[in-house]
Amino acid sequence: MVFLIFALKCKAMRFSQNYSALRLVFLFLSGLMLLFIVAPLLGLFFSTSLPNLFETAKDTQVKGSIALTLGVSALFTVLAAFFALPLAYLMARKEFRGKAFLQGLIDLPIVLPHSAAGIAVLGFIARDSALGKLAEALGLNLVGSPFAIGVAMAFVSVPFLINAARDGFQAVPLRLEQAAQSLGASPFRVFRQISLPLAKPSVITGLVLMFARGMSEFGAVVIVAYHPMTTPVLIFDRFNSYGLEYAKPVAVLFIIICILVFMVLRLVGRKNNKV
Amino acid sequence: MLKCCELEYKVGSFHLKDFSLELQKGDYCALFGPSGSGKTVLLELIAGLRPLKKGSIFIDGMDCTHMPPQRRPAGILFQDYALFPHMNVFDNIAWPLVIRGLKKLEIKQTVTQMAEDLDIVRHLSRMPELLSGGEKQRVALARTLVIHPKVLLLDEPLSALDAPLRDQSIQLLKNVSQTGITILHVTHDQAEVDALANRSFAFEPDHGIIVP
């Protein structure tokens, strides 16, 4: 009996040591936060039947929109990287007048209402714009094309890549770049073989974030191209035209695909990060 | 071999002016100065990592004043060694040879020979983070020496080492010096290079003078 009381006391002490009042409050609040994120998704999943989901997966319009969304977002993420990474490197390494202003400019698409971003992109690619006129001379109409979708996606998502890559480059000790230069490497080789590999985890995170943000974009994309439909636009279209029940399976399917894509990207990223 | 003529440079509160120095081939010169006196900045100026305001630098008779660091015939060994953390020891030493376009076999032979000379063969496949201070120093030295610099700039190379390792490193630098390379060694500790330097100076950047 004495032993039992002693054991219980020990357990209570250990519990009070491990779970202070503050920790319990934090755990409770964290739980609520996680529930806030997970509950709507679980509700969506449980309210969609499997046969309905399989039928949606066979729908050619759904398949086409998912392929378009993933493909355009991936392509424009890669294309944007060629311009975003040098900019991120300059922002990390150089001090110049107006740098804070430039940083604000880079962050602007994050704070803009996405419909406004869409209007801005539309003005950039419309027929009466310089780019639009050039495309028209080549017999192309940019508005309502996958190109327009890609530009809208990149416009709202590229700050995530620039900022993540900038943080990564900033974390690379300048000394390593100087050592590389003193060993005979050109600045470009230093960037390619020293700075970029060392900043790789942040760059990959930035690429994944940009890709994710791009493919989930609705506001800007719907303004520049209602057709061909990306999946977020298709979900909206089905909801608007046929109601919630028709939009749900498409949304669930897209969420499942997004989760799978991110799991793969994260795994690849983690594998690459092991230097 | 190394000639610095009236160098002038200003950054923050550091002001180097009218700094001149001339070293002959095979000289081992020590520059003393307290921590924060700008000794590292001087090495960076000679290596081309900072742009000079005034003055000129000649290495092996060649005007290097406006030459980018990658083209200067000088090697610099940083205080923290600056080994590339994403490459193993072999790749660290081989990297300067790879960028010079040497063939794989030649690179392997050169790196192995250098690793044998500096007694780091057993570490060739290890990552820098797993090396001790003394081992890191040897790897960094090997990486600098494979490019056969005319002038070797040493930035407090012994300061991070404990006593036994320091003795080993002094012997190592003595061996390197005997190959005929010109060495400029900056330190805040005069005793550090008593056994090494054939010339030594006090570094006083603000007054623009060097006191032998």
* Average pLDDT of the segment spanning B200-208: 70
Domain with residue A107: its CATH number is 1.10.3720.10
Q: Dihedral of CA B98/B102/B103/B109: which sign?
A: negative
Tell me whether residues B143 and A180 touch, CB distance under 8 A. no
Residue B12 confidence (pLDDT): 80
B2-211: CATH architecture? 3-Layer(aba) Sandwich (3.40)
pLDDT at residue number A11: 73
Q: How many domains does chain A have?
A: 1
Q: Model-level pTM?
A: 0.87
Average of per-residue pLDDT across B99-113: 95
Is A183 in Cβ contact with B75 (below 8 Å)?
Answer: yes
- Residues in B touching A275 (Cβ below 8 Å): 85-86
Below-70 pLDDT ranges, chain A: 1-3, 15-18, 272-275
Q: Which comes out higher in pLDDT, residue B162 or A256?
A: A256
**Chain B residues with beta carbon closer than 8 angstroms to that of A193:** 95, 99
pLDDT of amino acid B151? 94
Alpha carbon distance A59, A194 (integer Å):
47
> DSSP letter string over A100-158?
HHHHHHHHHHHHS-HHHHHHHHHHHHSTTSHHHHHHHHTT---TTSHHHHHHHHHHHHH
For residues B199 and B178, is the Cβ–Cβ distance under 8 A?
no
- Per-residue pLDDT tens for B167-203? 888 888 888 888 889 999 998 887 777 878 888 888 7
Q: Which among A105, A59, A65 is positioned nearest to A222, based on CA atoms?
A: A65
d(CA A136, CA A143): 11
Please indicate whether, in this complex, the C-beta atoms of A183 and B68 are within 8 angstroms of each other. no
Average pLDDT over residues B9-14: 84
Q: For residue A213, give its domain range.
A: 68-225
User: Is residue A233 one of the residues assigned to a domain?
Assistant: no
**In a domain? residue A176:** yes
Q: Residue A40 falls within a domain, yes or no? A: no
Are the beta carbons of B144 and A173 separated by less than 8 Å? Answer: no
Query: What is the pLDDT at residue B163?
Result: 76
Whole-number pLDDT of residue A2: 66
Residues of chain B with Cβ-Cβ distance to A199 below 8 Å are none
Instruction: Decide if A262 is inside a domain.
Output: no
- Residue B207 confidence (pLDDT): 53
pLDDT at B191: 77
Indicate whether B212 pLDDT > 50: no
* Residue A94 is assigned to a structural domain of this protein: yes
Among A102, A105, A80, A79, which residue's Cα sits nearest to residue A92?
Answer: A102
Is residue A55 a part of any domain in this protein? no
Chain B residue set in contact with A, beta carbons under 8 Å: 44, 47-49, 68-72, 74-76, 78, 80, 82, 84-86, 95-96, 99-100, 143-144, 147
- Examine residue A256 and state whether it is found in any structural domain, yes or no: no
pLDDT, tens only, B50-102: 999 899 999 998 999 999 999 999 999 999 999 999 999 999 999 999 999 99
pLDDT at B211 over 60: no
Question: In this structure, what token pair is assigned to residue B54?
Answer: 């005034």
